[in-house]
Structure 1
C-alpha cells in the first residue's frame, strides 16, 4: 500500500559512490564506514540507514548513490563523508516486504502509483531530487533478508 506523507527536513551523513548493479557490493561495503564515522564523533543515528539514489543506473550503467544515516543536527563534512539533508515536503511512500533483490519492482510500482495520482516524483533531468530507500530491519535482529522491510520514499 502506498501513501503520501508530509515530512520535515532531515539532516544526514553519507558517503557518495558511483557503481553498477554488478558492483553493488562496493555500495554495501560503505555501511560500516558511515556508522564508524558517526561513532568516532559521538553522533548518534536518528533513523534508519538509507540509500539516496541520485541517478539510477543498471547492470552496466552506474548509479550515483549516497549511503547515509540520518542525524539530529547538521554535520560537518570530513574526508569521504558528506553532509546532506532530506528535503522537507510531501513524499510518496511504500514499504517493500522481503529480500532487497525484489525492491526494484516496488520502486517501479510506487513511481507508477504516484504518477497516476498526479504527483510524479521530482526530477531534475536524470537526477532524482528526493529518492530514498531506508532499511527498517536490522540484520542483526533479523538475519533472513526475506523478512526485511525497506521503505521507499520519493519527494513528489
Structure 2
C-alpha cells in the first residue's frame, strides 16, 4: 500500500450525486460494486450526462452477513434520477481521510488506527444489521474507465467524524 496523502481531518460540503444502493453479502461484494458501477456509467452515457467522481459507500458493514452498499457518481448539482438511479448526497462534515493506492484493507486499518490514536470519534453506531456509518466511502480519484487495474487506482478513503 502506498499512502499518497494523510491521514488527516478534512472538511467536506455536502456533495450531490446519483447512485444505486443494494444489500449484498461481503463475499462477492466487490463484483457487485463493479456491476453497479458499469450500470451507472451506462445510465450516464445514455442520458448524455458527464460522470464525476465515482464513490463506493458502505452504509452498514457486517463482514459475516449482509453489507448495505451504494455506488454513486458525484454530479455537482442535484439531479432527480429515475426511480432506479436515485439522488444521493455525501453529507457535509469533518472526515478522517487518506488517499492511497492498492490494499484497501490495509488503508482502512491505517485510517482506523490513526483516528483512534488521535482521539477522533467516528460517526458510527451499533445496529442489529452491523456497524452503521453516518458516511464511510471510497472515492475513486482515478477514473475506473481509463485504468482497469484496481491496484493502480488512487482512492480517497473517508469516514465522517461524530462532531
TMscore range, shorter length: 0.7 to 0.9
> Quick check: 2:98–2:156 contact (8 Å CA) kept in 1?
yes
Give distance in 2, aligned partners of 1:11 and 1:56: 23
> Quick check: 1:4–1:93 contact (8 Å CA) kept in 2?
yes
| Structure 1 residue 110 displacement after superposition | 0.7
More moved, 142-151 vs 65-74: 142-151
Give distance in 2, aligned partners of 1:36 and 1:144: 20
| Structure 1 residue 77 displacement after superposition | 3.7
Give distance in 1, aligned partners of 2:144 and 2:69: 21
| Structure 1 residue 40 displacement after superposition | 3.1
Does 1:66 pair with 2:70?
Answer: yes
Does 1:16 pair with 2:21?
Answer: yes
User: Where do 5+ consecutive residues of structure 2 fail to align?
Assistant: 1-5
SS at match of 2:28: helix
Per-residue CA deviations over 1:51-79 (Å, capped at 9, x if unaligned) read: 11001122x41110001000111121423
> Structure 1's 134 and 64: CA in aligned 2 closer, same or farther, altered over 3 A?
same
Does 1:43 pair with 2:44?
Answer: no
* TM-score of the superposed pair, with normalisation by structure 2: 0.82
Question: Which residue is 1:122 aligned to?
Answer: 123
Size of the alignment, in residue pairs?
151
SS at match of 1:22: coil
Query: For the aligned residues, what is the CA RMSD?
Result: 1.8
| Structure 1 residue 139 displacement after superposition | 3.9
